[in-house]
Chain A
Amino acid sequence: MSYKFTIGHYVYEFENLRVLLAKASPLRSGDVLAGLAAASAEERIAAQIALADVPLVNFLNEDFVPYESDEITRLIIDGQDQQSFAAIKHFTVGALRDWLLSDEASAAAIESISKGLTAEMVSAVSKLMRNQDLILAAKKLEVVTRFRNTIGLKGHLSVRLQPNHPLDDLRGIAAGVIDGLMYGAGDAVIGINPATDNPHKIAEIIHMLDRLRLQFDMPVQSCVLTHVTTSIQLIEQGVPVDLVFQSIAGTEKANSSFGINLSILEEAHEAALSLNRGTVGKQVMYFESGQGSALSANSHFGVDQQTCEVRSYAVARRFDPLLINSVVGFIGPEYLFDGKQITRAALEDHFCGKLMGLPMGMDICYTNHAAADQDDMDNLLTLLGVAGINFIIGVPGADDIMLNYQSTSFHDAMYIRKILNKRPAPEFDRWLQHQGLFDANGPKPHTSARQLQELTSTILGLC
C-alpha cells in the first residue's frame, strides 16, 4: 500500500514500505548511488513523518524482498514471535520510538518484545531516532555472551586483537599479539584476517594461537577469519577451531555472492559446537557485516542499505553468536561518504543489533578515500563507548598493514576504558593482573624487562 504526507500544497507519496524506509533514511552516499534516497531534505522529513504513523502490523503484511524467493525474508517472517509482539502490536513506528526512550522501557521490558520485532521494524524505528536516541536506547540493553570469558557485561569493554600480517608470517602475527596483550587487548577474540585462503596456512595460524593460549592459560578465544566452508573443513581435520567466522549480508542473493546460505551456516555452527571447546559458554560464531554490502553485490532489491544491514542481523540472531560487528567505514565513500555518515551508520548498527538481542561490537574504521580521519574515529569511539558497545577492534597503531585501512588501536581501547571507567572481560582482567601486566588501575607503568624477555621469547618459540 502507499503512504502519503502533505507539506504545503505538495503531496509526497511513497508507493510502499520499502520506498518509504529508503526515503526516510538519513542521507548517505550508498542510497544515492542506488537511486533510493530522498530527492530533497524536505522529502526525507516528509517520509519520516509518514513513517512515524505506520502501524507496526503493516510490516507483517509487506515483504521488502519477496518471501518466495528469499530465505532471509522467510527467516524473518517465520521467526517473528507473536507472543512477544502482543504487547506492542497496537504501536506505530513513532510510538515504538517514544516507548523505547521512555522510563517504562526497562532493559527487561525491551528484551521481552525483541523477538516480536522484524528486522524491517527495527530499521524503521532507528530512522526516526536522532544520534542521542540511538545511544540512550542502546545503553539500556545488556547482551552478555560467553565462550572462555564473559563479554558484554555493564562496566566492561572488550577488544578484538587484530594482529594481521600481509604474508601471514607467524612471528609477525605473534609480535602483534604480544603488543596487544601488553595493552590489555584480546578479550573479545584474538582474530586474524588471513592474507591467504590456503587451509594449511590457516591451520598453522590456529595451532600457533592455541599453543599460545595453553602456554599462558589465557581465558581468550581465537579465530582466523576465513570462509565458513574452510573452517568446516579444518574442524573435520581436527584443527582446534575456537570460533567460526563468516561475513554475512541481508539478502539471500548477497549471501550467495559470499558463497553461503543458511544451511551452510547451520552446518558450520554445529561443527563448531561439536568440538565443545568453550569453558564458560557455548557461543561459537563470529559474524561481520556492514552497510552497503548487498548493494555492492548488486543484490539489494531496492531496499535501502541500512535495512539490508539489519536484515543481516536476523541471520546472525539465528546462530546465537559470541561476537558480531559491523565493519562500518571499510566499504568506502560511495556507501558512507564522510565521518558524519560513518558515525550515523555505526550508531544505527549498534542500536539495531542490540535491539535484535545481538552482542554488538564495531570496527570503527575508514579508508583513505573517505572524508574521515582519526578525529572522526575518536568521536565515534567515545559515542559507542557511552552507548555501551560490547567490543571494539584493536590494531597496532590503528594501521592495518594487511587490509590497508585504519581502525582503532590498543591505545584507543585504553583511552575509552579509562575515561568511561570500563574494565576488560572479568576473566581476562584477572589474567592480566595475575601475569603482572595490569594492576587495578590499568596497565602497569613498567613491566619488568626480564619478565617481558621471557614472555616474548616463549611466544616466539611457539611460532
Chain B
Amino acid sequence: MLEKTNEIAIKDLWEELRLFTAARIALGRTGVSLPLSESLKFKLAHAHAQDAVYSDMDVNAIETALDGLGITHVMVESGATDRTTYLQRPDFGRKLSANSTALLQNKRSIQKDICIVIADGLSAFAVNENAVKVTSLFMESLSSKGFTFTPVVLAKQARVAIADEIAHHLNARLSVILIGERPGLSAYDSLGAYMTYMPQPGYTDEKRNCISNIRDLGLPPDVAAEKLRDLVVRSLQLKLSGVNLKDDDRPLLL
C-alpha cells in the first residue's frame, strides 16, 4: 500500500522502540507532516470507532439466537428516541420509555436471582459480536446450580443505569448489563459487563462492579463469562456490590 508515497517520506530511525509501546511512535515525516500512510491508518481507526458509535443492535439476529438457546426475552427502549439525542442526553438513556416501563411492570413475577440486560451502549457492534455468547455461557453455568433468571431484556439507546430500573421492575435480586463500551482507536468492539446487587432506579457507579474490554482480542467471551459468574455469585452470597465488593475477594465455592 502507498509505496510511492513511502519513498518520499523520511523514516524515523527509532522504529525499534515500538517494541516497548503500542503508542504511535516513529511515524516518520514528510517535511514536518505525517506521512500519508500513517494519516490514512489513523483515519481508518477513527472511521471504525465512529461507525461503532452509530451502529445498530442486530435485534433479529440476537432474538433468533436466544430463541435457539431456549432463552426467553423481551425488548425495551430508553427515553432517548434516536442516537443524536442519546449522545447528548445520558439522563434519557438511563431511564425506560413510558411504554417500556408499562411493559415490564406487566411482566413482574415472583423474585428471581438475576436479570440480564443486553444493551447497545456506545458500540452496538460489540454487542452484536459477543453479547449472546457471554449470556449463554453465563446462564448455562448458573442455571445448572439452581440460580433463577428473569427473561433477558434487550434495551435500545441505553446507558448502564437502565439495568437497575429494569431489574427492579422485573423483581430480580441482581442486575447484569452487557453493553457496548465507548470505542477507542485501538478497539471499537469492546463489551462491558456491569453488575448491581438489589438494584434500584437512581443508583450510581459506586454500587456497581465492572468487567471491561470483553472482545475476542481482549478478554475473550468465555473467560469473561467465568469472571462474571464468580463476581455474581460472590455478590449474591455476600449480599452487596460496588466499592465494598473488593476485587481481591477470593471466589467462593459454588
Residue ranges of A at the interface with B (Cβ–Cβ < 8 Å): 29, 32-33, 163-166, 169, 171-176, 178-179, 182, 333-334, 337, 367-369, 373-374, 395-399, 401, 404, 406, 409, 411, 414-415, 418, 442-443, 445-447, 449, 452, 456, 460
Contacts and interface: CB of A to CB of B under 8 A. Distances in A.
Interface stretch (B27-35, B194-202, B245-253): B27-35
B114 to A, nearest CB: 29
Interface string B22-44: 11111101011110001000110
B49 interface: yes
B88 interface: yes
Contacts of A176: 21, 23, 25
B239 interface: no
A368 B25 contact: no
Instruction: Report, nearest first, the 7 A-B pairs whose CB atoms are least far apart.
Output: A397-B24, A414-B32, A172-B21, A368-B49, A175-B17, A179-B25, A404-B184
B185 A406 contact: yes
A171 B20 contact: yes
A175 B21 CA distance: 7
**Listed residue (B13, B32, B88) with the most chain A CB atoms within 10 angstroms of its CB:** B32
A132 B46 CA distance: 30
Contact of B26 (A172, A179, A401): A179
Contacts of A173: 21
B23 A404 contact: no
Contacts of B22: 166, 401
B182 interface: yes
Given A179-B17, A409-B24, 7 more contacts: A178-B25, A179-B23, A368-B182, A396-B21, A397-B27, A401-B21, A447-B13
B154 interface: no
A165 B88 contact: no
Contacts of A446: 10
**Listed residue (A32, A174, A334) with the most chain B CB atoms within 10 angstroms of its CB:** A334
Contact of A396 (B24, B52, B89): B24
B169 to A, nearest CB: 25
13 contacts: A33-B89, A33-B91, A166-B22, A171-B21, A174-B20, A175-B23, A175-B25, A368-B184, A368-B188, A395-B23, A396-B21, A399-B24, A406-B185
A176 B23 CA distance: 7
Interface residues of B, number: 41
A165 B49 contact: no
A446 B10 CA distance: 8
B185 A415 contact: no
Given A337-B88, A369-B87, A411-B27, A443 B32 contact: yes
A414 B10 CA distance: 15
Nearest to A171: B20
Nearest to A463: B20
A411 B33 contact: yes
Contacts of A169: 20-21
B17 A178 contact: yes
Contact of B185 (A163, A165, A368, A411): A368
Interface string B48-91: 01101100000000000000000000000000000000011111
B14 A445 contact: no
B192 interface: no
B5 interface: no
A340 B32 CA distance: 27
Contacts of A398: 24, 42
Given A169-B20, A337-B88, A406-B46, A396 B25 contact: yes
Contacts of B50: 368, 373
B122 interface: yes
B183 interface: yes
B32 A368 contact: no
A179 B34 CA distance: 14
Contacts of B183: 368-369
B141 interface: no
Interface string B83-110: 0000111110000000000000000000
A235 B72 CA distance: 59
B41 to A, nearest CB: 9
A401 B24 CA distance: 9
Given A442-B32, A452-B14, A175 B182 contact: no
Contacts of B53: 368-369
B32 A411 contact: yes
Contacts of A171: 20-21
Contacts of B14: 175, 178-179, 182, 452, 456
Given A169-B21, A368-B185, A334 B49 contact: no
